[in-house]
Amino acid sequence: MSTVSFTGVDASATTTCQGKTLTLNAYGDSSATPLQLATVSSTALTAATIGITSGNPTSAAGTTVSAISGGGTTALAFDLGFTTPSSTSGAVYKLTLQSSN
């Protein structure tokens, strides 16, 4: 799995997703342990974080944000890419997304 696409992210105000951090995890079909999404400096990345702003989302090491559209009063859309992918799409059974301040 090399990319996850996001659409319809409401970043128009701080009462929505603006200023929040989104955390993405991937899981197989039989384990409660997150799968490795990527490798960063020989370290397993099991959670990808995205900072939501009204314009350009930001991401942590091991990930990239691209194909950004929208923002401001229009819903954001973007792709989250993994620089050194580790899990195949066939190994991923479910994705979870959590938000935090």
Tens of pLDDT along the chain (101 residues)? 899 999 999 988 888 899 999 999 999 999 999 999 999 999 999 999 999 987 789 999 999 999 999 988 889 999 999 999 888 889 999 999 999 98
Return the closest-CA partner of residue 38 out of 7, 59, 8: 59
Q: Which token pair is 96?
A: 């979870």
Residue 73 sits in which domain range? 3-100
pLDDT of residue 39: 92
* pLDDT (0 to 100) of residue 45: 95
Q: Is 90 helix (H, G, I), strand (E, B) or coil?
A: helix
- What one-character DSSP code corresponds to residue 89? G
User: What are the residues whose beta carbons fall under 8 Å from the beta carbon of 45, sequence distance 6 or more?
Assistant: 36, 37, 38, 39, 61, 62, 63, 82, 86
Q: How far apart are CA 12 and CA 32, in angstroms?
A: 34
pLDDT of 23: 97
Domains held by the chain: number: 1
Distance CA 35, CA 38 (A): 9
